Structure 1
Amino acid sequence: MDTAYIPVRQSLWRFFLLFLFTGFFFGAAFAQTTGRLTGRVVAGAGPLSSVTIRLSGTRLGTLTDDQGQFTLANVPAGTHTLVASRVGFVRLRQAVTVTPGETTQLGDLTLNETAEQLQEVVIEGKNAYKTDIASSSLRLKTPLIEVPQNIQIVNRQLLADQQIFDMLEGVSRNVSGVTKQEHWDNYARLNMRGSRVAPFRNGMNVQSSWGPLAEDMSMVERIEFVKGPAGFMMANGEPSGFYNVVTKKPTGTTKGEATLSLGSFDTYRATTDLDGKLSDDGRLLYRLNLMGQWKGSFRDFEYNKRYTIAPVLKYKLSDQTSLTFEYTYQFSQMSAIGSAYVFSADGFAKAPRNVSTAPANLDPTNIRDHSTYVILEHQLADNWKLTGQLAYFNYNQIGSSMWADSARTGGVLYRNTSIWDAFNEGKFAQVFVNGEVVTGSVTHRILAGLDLGSKKYIADWNQSFPLYDSTTVFNINNPNYYLPARLLPNFDRSRSLQNRAGTNVLSQSYSGLYLQDELRFWQDRIRLTLAGRITTARDSQYGAGTDETVFTPRVGLSGSLDKHTSLYALYDQAFVPQSGVDARGRAFDPITGNNLEAGLKRDWAEGRWNSTVSVYQITKNNVLTSDPANPNYSIQLGQTRTSGVEADVQGQILPGMNLVLNYAYTDSKITKDTQSENVGTPVPGFAKHVTNAWLSYRLASGPLQGLGLSLGYQGQLERQPWGLTAGTASKLPDYFRADGTISWQNRRFSIALNVNNLFDAYLYSGAFYSWSNYYYWQAEAPRNFRLSMGVRF
C-alpha cells in the first residue's frame, strides 16, 4: 500500500485522540454565555424549506430543512430580533429571548405569500440559478458558503432554461472545469480536475464501468457537483470528485406541469410532472414524472427513442417519521452504439458532420434501466435526525457496438461490429445520523454513518463480425449505408448472457464507516472539520481481484470574515481499487490520491448572487493508461499531479437578470513513470482552460412582461485528446460554441426557442489511435433549434 496512507490502527488512534482533545478541550475553555434557538417555518401548504433565518445585527443565520425546521446555536444570551425571509413571502420579524445554557423553542413561524409571488413570472423565484444549501442526500446540514469544499449546484430552473434533455447534453457548461468526454450514447462520462467524476444518485455511488444509463432531466430536481475527495460520501473513488443527481420528490403542494418540445433533426418530446396529496390529512404524498421522446440526429440514420416513468410515494407515519418509495424505469432504443465515431487516416474532421459509421439496416440497441429506492427519515430529537436508504439498480442492454479495424487514405474505412449485451446490477444501503452537541460555547455538528454497496457488470463482447469483404468497403466521402445481407451480423444469443460473458465480469463490494465532527467556535465564525473513514473494498475485473482496507482522514477549516464571506482550506484522501493484470500478468496496485484545496466564497447583494474561487492540487499514484505495445492491456504510469484554479459566479446580478459564469485552469502532468521520457508530459483527456457563461434576462413588468432573452457560450483552450502519441498531429483545436434563447412565460403558460451552436462551428473531440494508425473523432451538431411549450396547472 502507498506510503501516503497511514496504517489503519495507528491512524484511528491519532484521529480519535485529536477529535477528543480538540472538541472537549476548547468546549471547556468557554463559559456558557450562549443558548440555542429552534423552530419551524410553515406556509399555507405546510412546512417551508430553504427559508433564510438570521438574527438582526449578528452574523448568525441558517436555512430551514425539508421539514421547515431550523436551529441556531451559540446565540448570545439576551433579546434579539429574528428575521425569516424567502422570495415570494412577506418577511417575518420576531423578538426572541435567549437564556444562557438553554434551548429556546419558538414553535411554528408562519410566512404569508406576497402579491409579488402571485404575479411572479419566474416560478422558481428571483434567484433562479442560486442555491444556498445542499440536498439532504448530500448529508450536510451546513450552508454551502460555510462548507470547506467547492460544491456547485445546477438546479431545475437552469436545466429548463437551457432545454437540457439528459446528462449527455449541456449540464457540464454550468460548473467550472467540467467537460463532457466522447460517449457511446448510453451513459455519461464527465471529467473534472484531470479525471472522471463518479456519478451518484440520491447520495449513492452508482458508477459502473459503462453505466448507469444517462438520467433524463424530466425526473431530476438538481445536480450537485462536489469537487475533490469527499470522505463524508465516499473514499473509494477518483479524487477529482463526483456529481450527485437528486431526483424529484413530493412537495405536499398540489400542482402539475406538462411540456411539449420539438426541434431540429426530427426531435419530439413530451413530459408531465404531477405533484400532490393522496390523502386528505396530507400524510400520503405523490410525485409522478412521465417522459416520451423521439430524438433524431444530424448524423445519417442515427436516432434515440426514450421514455421514462418515475413515480414516488411519501408516507408520513408521524410528524417525526416518513417513508419514501421511489421507482424509475428508463427505456432507450438507439442506433448501433459507437456510430457517432468517425475514423480517417487523413486527420481530424476529414468528413462531413452528417456521416455515420453505422449501417442503416443494423439492428438497434435496446436498454432497460430500473431503479428502486426506499428512504426512511426519522427526527430523533430537535437536533438529531436518522436517515436510512436502500436502493436496487438493474440495467439490461441488448445490442452491438461499432468500431473500425483500419482506415486508409481517401476515406476508406474497414468497419467492424461486435455484440454488446450487458447486465448491470447494483445493491446499496446507507444509514447515517446528523446531530448537534454543545460543549460550552462550542457546537459539534456530528455526521456518522455506514455505507454498503455491491455492483456487478457482465457483458458479452466475444462475438464480432467484419462489415466488409473484397467487394464491399465503406467510404466516409461516399457512404453507402445499406449492407448486403451476407455481411449483416448474426449474433448467437441461444445461451444465457452469464455463459456467453466468460471472464467479462466486473464486480465490486464495499463497506464504509465514517465519522465527521464540525466544531463551530466563536459564534460560528470558525469551523473546524475533523473526519475519518474506514473503507473496505473488494474489486474483481476479468478474473483478477483485490481486497483493500484503507483509512482516509479529512481535515477542513472554514472561517467567516463577515456574514457574507468565508475562507476555507481542506486536506482529504481517496483511493481507487484497480483489478486486472498487465500484459506480463502482474496485478495492479490501487490508485491513491491526496487533495489539497483552499478557497474564498462570498454572497453579494444581500445574498442574491455568490462567487467561489478555489485552488487545488491532486496527487494520484499508480495511475493506469493504455499499453502502447498492446492496446488490449494497461500499464501503470506511476504518479500524476493535477493542479488548478477555479472560479464560479451564480445568481441574480441585477433585477430580472441571472448569470452563470465560470472559469477553470487545469494543469495535469505525469510526475513519475517507469519510462522517464513520459515525465512532464500531459495526462490525456483534459483542457487547460475552460470557460462558460449563461446570461438570462426577463422583463418583470410592462406590456412585454414575461419576455426573456438568454445568451451563453462554452469555450475550451489547449485541449488534450484521449490518447497522446509522440510524433503525431493529434492536438485538438480550441473549442467555442455560442447558444441563445428567446422565451415568454406567465403563471400558467411558457414558450421558449433555444438555438444552439449559433455560429454553426464544426466542433469535435477525439484522438489519434496509434494501434491502428488512424484518427477518430465525434462531431457535435451544427446549428439547431428546440422549441418548447409548457402549461402549469
Structure 2
Amino acid sequence: MKKITILSAFMMLTFFTYAQSGAIKGKVVTQQGLPISNANIMIGNSGMGTMTNANGEYQLHHLEVGALTLRASYVGFTPLSVEVVVKPNAITIVPDIIMQEKQEQLDEVVVQGRRNEYVVREPSPSLRLRTEIAKLPQNIQVISGELLQDQQATSIMDGVIRNVSGVTMLEHWGHFARIHMRGFRLPAFRNGVNVQDSWGPLSEDMAFVDRIEFVKGPSGFMMAAGEPGGFYNIVTKKPSEERIGKVSLSTGSFDFYRGSFDLGGKLTDNGKLLYRLNALYQTGDSHRGHEDSERWGIAPALTYRFSDRTQITTELNIQNAESYIGAAYVFAPVADGYGSLDRNFKFTDTNYPASEIQQLTFFTNLRHDFSENWGFETQFAYLRYDQEGQSFWAWSITDGGDADRRVTQWDALSVGKYFQTYLNGSFNTGAITHNILGGFDYTQKVYWADFSNVVAIDDVPFNIYNPVYGQANPLPFDRSDPIQYRNGGEPYSGNTLRSYYLQDEIGFWNDKIRFTLAGRYSELLTQGKEDQDNQFSPRAGISIDIVPTLSAYALYDQSFLPANGVDFTGDTFDPIEADDVEGGVKKSFFSGRLKTSLGAYRITKKNVLVTDPENPNFSVQLGEVLSKGIEFDLQGEVTPEIDVVLNYANTNVEITQDTDPTLIGQRVAGHAKHVTNGWFNYDFAETTALKGCAASLGYQYQIDRSTWAWGADSQSDLPDYFRLDGALSWKNDKFRVQLNVNNILNEYLYAGANYGTYLYWQSEPGINGRVSLTYNL
C-alpha cells in the first residue's frame, strides 16, 4: 500500500508540474501542387526534424507548446521557413508548404537541400510504431533503398547484412538466407508478418524491396514466440501518388543478365486509385560452372483511397526461381584443411539438376483514421511456397579423397495464413502523454516436406583429387502423389498462434522522458504437440532525451520458444524462455543527417533441453545459454558529398548451465565474436567536371568465426574473413550507369565447419563485377 501511495503521489506531482506538448502535421508540394517526397523538415536549428513520405506528408510529435520556425529544404528548390504555433495536447495542421524550383546552379542546395540517402528516421507502418526511431527504447537499424542501389544488391544474400552491426549469414543454400544476430537465427518478416519456415522462405529479391528494417531483441510489440535475437522486416514497394518510372538492365560475371522495371503513380485524375508494378527476369551461372539458373517475378499493387482517412492496399507477388540446393558445398579430409581445394571446385556432377521453387504472397491492408490521434489497421496475408527438387551432401570422405556422394529428395510445400488488427492512439492525462498500441495477431502455418528418399549417386567413388564428372546415376524420385499425401499425410511442421498485446508509451516533461510498458499473451499450438503453450511476455523500457540530439535508453523484454517432446516420465516440456536486458545511447549530428547508436545487451535463454544424464535417450530442461555483447552503428551524411555506413559488434554466446559440467563455458556456434563493416560513398560536387559521378568503397571483416554446423557447436577454427568491394557510378536526370566490383583483393573467402570426420565449406567467387544501366522514364 505504501508503494502505491508513493507512486500515486509521483503521478499527481507529474500531472501538475510537467508542461504540456503538442504535434504538427502538414504537406510539402511544388507550385503545381505535386507532392515532394524526402524533403527535409527541421525545427529551427534544434537538430530535430523528419523527412516527408512518398505523398509529401510529414508529422512531428512531442513538441513544446508555442511558436516555432519550421524549415523545409530539398535539392533543386529554394529553402523555405514558416512560422507555426503548436497547440497543447493537439495536432496542429500546417498549411501546405509550397516550394519554388530554382533555376540557377545552387551551391546552397547542395549543402542544405541535398537528399540524405542513408538515414531513415521513422519506422515503416508495418512495425506499428509511430515514434521516431531515435526516441524508441530499442535498437532498430534501417537499410534504405538508396543504399541498396549503391551496393547494387539483387537479393538479401548479396551482402546486404553488412549494413547492420553483428549480422552474419550462415552458409548459403542458394534459395533462402539463414541470417543470425546476437547468436540466434532471425525470422524473416514481410510487411510485419512472420513468414519464416524451416527451410525458407525464398530469399528476398531487392527488385520488390523499399527498405529493410532490422529490429534487435525479442521485440514484444511484434512477436514473442521466436528466438530472442530479433528479426528483419522486408518492406515492399507501395503505390505512390508520385509518378514512378524506372527500367534497369544489368550484366556481370558468370553469365549474369538481369532486367527489371518499376512503375507507379495515379490511375485516376483525383488520385483515389494508385498503383505500383514491379517485375524482374534474371539468368546466371555460379563460379563453379554448370549451374545455369533463372529467376523471374512480378508484383502488382493497388491502393484505393476512400477518403483522406481510409484506404485499402492490396499486393500480389509471384516469383519463380531455380536453385542448386547443396551444390555450394565442398568436402575434404580434416588433415587437408579448409580451402585445400580450388575455389571453383565442383563437388556435384555437371548434370546435377536444379530445384524448382514457386512462391506466391498476397497482402491486403485496410487503414482507417478515426481522428488525428486515433486509427487502426487490419491486414490479411497469405503465403504459398512450393518446392520440387533435391539436396546434395557427402556422407563420408576417406583420407585418400574418395567421397560417398548422396542426394536427398527435397520437396516442400508451405502454406501460411495471417491476420492482424491493431489500434494506435494518443491522448493526454494532464501533462502526461500516452501513445497506445494494442491488437490481435493470428498465424497458421503448415509445412509439408519429403526428405525421406536418399540415394547414393556413384557406382564408383568420386575422388576429390582426381574428379570424373558425368558418371552420376539418375535420381529415382517418386512424385506421383501430391506432397500432402506422402509420408502418411502428416505435415513436417506447423503451428497456430494467437496473441493479444497492449503497449503504452508514457511521456513526461514535454516527452523528454518516455516510459514503455507492454505485455503480450500468446497461445501457441505446435504440430506434433498435444498441449498448447500459453505464455505472457512482459516488456518495459525507458528513453530519455539528454539533449535534443542525444538520448539514452534501457529495455527489458521477453520471448519464448515451444519445446517439443516429453521427458522420461512422459511429461511435456515448458516453453524455452529468454530474457533480454539492454541499454544504450543514440546520437545524431549535423542537424540529424548523421545518426549513431551504441548499446550493450545480455540475453539469457532458459529451460533449454539437454540430455538426461540418467536416461540418455531423453531430455530434461536444465540448460541455459547466455548471449552478451556490444553494438555500434553509424549511418548517414558526414559532409554534403560523403555518405557513410560504419558498424561494429562484439558477440559472445556460451553455455552457462548443462547436465554435463564439461560443456559449461563452451561456445555456441552461430556467430563471429568481432564483426565490423563499412561503406563509404563520395558524390563529386555539382560544380566540378565530374558532376554526377560517385565512388564507393566498402569492407566486411569478421574475426574469430564460428558457423552453424551439425555436431560441431564448439568448433571455431575458421580463419578471419576480410572482403573489399567498390563501385563507380554516373547519373543525371534520366540515366544512371554503375559498375560494382566485389572481392577486389581476390581473396579465397569461405564459410564452413569441422564435422569431426571431415571438413566442409562453401567458397565465394574471386574478384567479380556487375554493370547496370537505369533509365528514368
- Structure 2 match to 1:758: 744
Secondary structure of the structure 1 residue equivalent to 2:123:
coil
Secondary structure of the structure 1 residue equivalent to 2:370:
strand
Of residues 548, 551, 570, the one that matches 1:563 is: 548
Can you give the 5+ residue segments of structure 2 that lack an aligned partner in the other structure?
Answer: none
The residue type paired with residue 81 of structure 1 is T
TM-score normalised by L of structure 2: 0.92
Q: State yes or no: 1:345 paired with 2:330.
A: no
1:634-668 CA-partner distances (Å, limit 9, x unpaired): 98771110110110111111221111110000111
Cα distance in 2 for partners of 1:416, 1:583 equals 35
Offset at residue 515 of structure 1 (A): 0.9
Q: State yes or no: 1:767 paired with 2:756.
A: no
Cα distance in 2 for partners of 1:618, 1:550 equals 18
- Structure 2 match to 1:161: 150
Secondary structure of the structure 2 residue equivalent to 1:218:
helix
Equivalent residues of 2:19, 2:509 under 8 A apart: no
Q: State yes or no: 1:233 paired with 2:222.
A: yes
Cα-Cα RMSD: 3.2
Equivalent residues of 1:743, 1:750 under 8 A apart: yes
- Structure 1 match to 2:437: 447
- Structure 2 match to 1:407: 397
The residue type paired with residue 432 of structure 2 is V
Matches within 5 A, 1:710-729: 710-723=696-709
- Structure 2 match to 1:251: 240
Of residues 289, 310, 318, the one that matches 2:307 is: 318
Equivalent residues of 1:414, 1:473 under 8 A apart: yes
Q: State yes or no: 1:788 paired with 2:772.
A: yes
Cα distance in 1 for partners of 2:104, 2:541 equals 41
Cα distance in 2 for partners of 1:280, 1:313 equals 15
Cα distance in 1 for partners of 2:360, 2:497 equals 22
Equivalent residues of 1:181, 1:191 under 8 A apart: yes
1:195-250 CA-partner distances (Å, limit 9, x unpaired): 10111000111111111111110000000000011111111111100000000011
Matches within 5 A, 1:272-421: 272-335=261-324, 337-346=325-334, 347-421=337-411
Q: State yes or no: 1:190 paired with 2:166.
A: no
Of residues 54, 57, 80, the one that matches 2:68 is: 80
Cα distance in 2 for partners of 1:216, 1:633 equals 42
> Judging changes above 3 Å, is the alpha-carbon distance between structure 1 residues 363 and 625 closer, same or farther for their aligned structure 2 residues?
farther
- Structure 1 match to 2:456: 466
- Structure 2 match to 1:152: 141
Equivalent residues of 1:576, 1:592 under 8 A apart: yes
Cα distance in 1 for partners of 2:579, 2:734 equals 50
Offset at residue 586 of structure 1 (A): 7.5
Equivalent residues of 2:611, 2:659 under 8 A apart: no
> Judging changes above 3 Å, is the alpha-carbon distance between structure 1 residues 396 and 70 closer, same or farther for their aligned structure 2 residues?
same
Q: State yes or no: 1:509 paired with 2:496.
A: yes
Offset at residue 73 of structure 1 (A): 5.3
Offset at residue 106 of structure 1 (A): 3.2
**Is the deviation greater in 727-736 or in 190-199?**
727-736
Cα distance in 1 for partners of 2:128, 2:714 equals 47
Offset at residue 362 of structure 1 (A): 3.2
The residue type paired with residue 69 of structure 2 is T
Matches within 5 A, 1:344-743: 344-346=332-334, 347-469=337-459, 472-484=460-472, 487-502=473-488, 503=490, 505-540=492-527, 543-580=528-565, 588-623=573-608, 638-701=623-686, 702-723=688-709, 731-743=717-729
Cα distance in 1 for partners of 2:568, 2:443 equals 30
Equivalent residues of 2:581, 2:602 under 8 A apart: yes
Offset at residue 284 of structure 1 (A): 0.9
Of residues 200, 208, 212, the one that matches 1:211 is: 200
> Judging changes above 3 Å, is the alpha-carbon distance between structure 1 residues 78 and 190 closer, same or farther for their aligned structure 2 residues?
closer
Equivalent residues of 1:724, 1:730 under 8 A apart: no
Equivalent residues of 1:60, 1:72 under 8 A apart: no
Equivalent residues of 1:38, 1:382 under 8 A apart: no
Offset at residue 761 of structure 1 (A): 1.0
> Judging changes above 3 Å, is the alpha-carbon distance between structure 1 residues 71 and 740 closer, same or farther for their aligned structure 2 residues?
closer
Offset at residue 683 of structure 1 (A): 0.5
- Structure 1 match to 2:98: 110
Cα distance in 1 for partners of 2:9, 2:629 equals 32
The residue type paired with residue 781 of structure 1 is P
The residue type paired with residue 775 of structure 2 is V
1:758-785 CA-partner distances (Å, limit 9, x unpaired): 1111111111224xx2111111111111
Cα distance in 1 for partners of 2:434, 2:380 equals 28
Secondary structure of the structure 2 residue equivalent to 1:622:
strand
TM-score normalised by L of structure 1: 0.91
The residue type paired with residue 744 of structure 1 is W
Equivalent residues of 1:302, 1:356 under 8 A apart: no
> Judging changes above 3 Å, is the alpha-carbon distance between structure 1 residues 101 and 598 closer, same or farther for their aligned structure 2 residues?
closer
The residue type paired with residue 776 of structure 1 is Y
Equivalent residues of 1:26, 1:442 under 8 A apart: no
Can you give the 5+ residue segments of structure 1 that lack an aligned partner in the other structure?
Answer: 1-16
Cα distance in 1 for partners of 2:167, 2:561 equals 20
Cα distance in 2 for partners of 1:495, 1:583 equals 37
> Judging changes above 3 Å, is the alpha-carbon distance between structure 1 residues 762 and 624 closer, same or farther for their aligned structure 2 residues?
farther
The residue type paired with residue 514 of structure 1 is Y
> Judging changes above 3 Å, is the alpha-carbon distance between structure 1 residues 639 and 103 closer, same or farther for their aligned structure 2 residues?
closer
The residue type paired with residue 161 of structure 1 is D
Of residues 764, 769, 776, the one that matches 2:760 is: 776
> Judging changes above 3 Å, is the alpha-carbon distance between structure 1 residues 100 and 412 closer, same or farther for their aligned structure 2 residues?
closer
1:62-89 CA-partner distances (Å, limit 9, x unpaired): 5656665555556555433333445555
1:135-177 CA-partner distances (Å, limit 9, x unpaired): 1111111111111111001111111111111112201111000
Offset at residue 476 of structure 1 (A): 2.2
